Amino acid sequence: MFDVFRPAREIRTELGRYRLLSPSAAIRVSPLCLGAMSLVDQLLDTLYEAGGNLIDTANNYQNEQSEMIIGEWMEKRGIRDGIVLATILPSASTGTNEGKFEGIAANYCGNHKKNLRLTVESSLKKLRTDYIDLLYIHWWD
């Protein structure tokens, strides 16, 4: 439970001085975002221990492993609520059946409901979470 009388957390580095992402978004993020195209647990630990909380990933980074690595890392440490996760709606989803399209794949791309649903469901599963903080539309339609 949130305690309004709890003392403010200690800020160990400037990375821990969170800023509003935008005036219309109530999300506070570290001034540095870790891009997760290539990463290891030690890098994630260093970011988090220094006060960083913003991680940018995508369901197709690192041959579809990036989100799985981040999800496992957060779950092991029990820190999901302390992380701001950003991921991408790509121009084409990986479809079903572990990335292999079945049948006609024409509607697995673009910024429409099917691609959005498949991509978000896949990302939630890989990230081991039930919500994504920021979803980028990576491609205009």
Q: What does the alpha-carbon distance between residue 23 and residue 8 come to, in Å, rounded to a whole number?
A: 23
Convert the pLDDT of each residue in 90-126 to its tens digit: 776 655 545 555 666 666 777 778 888 888 999 999 9
Cβ 97 vs Cβ 62: under 8 Å: no
How high is the pLDDT of residue 97? Answer: 45
Per DSSP, what are the bridge partners of residue 83? none
Q: What does the alpha-carbon distance between residue 4 and residue 133 come to, in Å, rounded to a whole number?
A: 23
Total-model pTM = 0.76
Q: Please provide the average confidence, as pLDDT, over all residues in the chain.
A: 82
Would you name the residues annotated as active-site residues?
Answer: 61
Question: What are the structural domains of the chain?
Answer: 26-94+104-137 (3.20.20.100)
Segment 60-70 shows an average pLDDT of 87
pLDDT grade, residue 16 (50/70/90)? confident
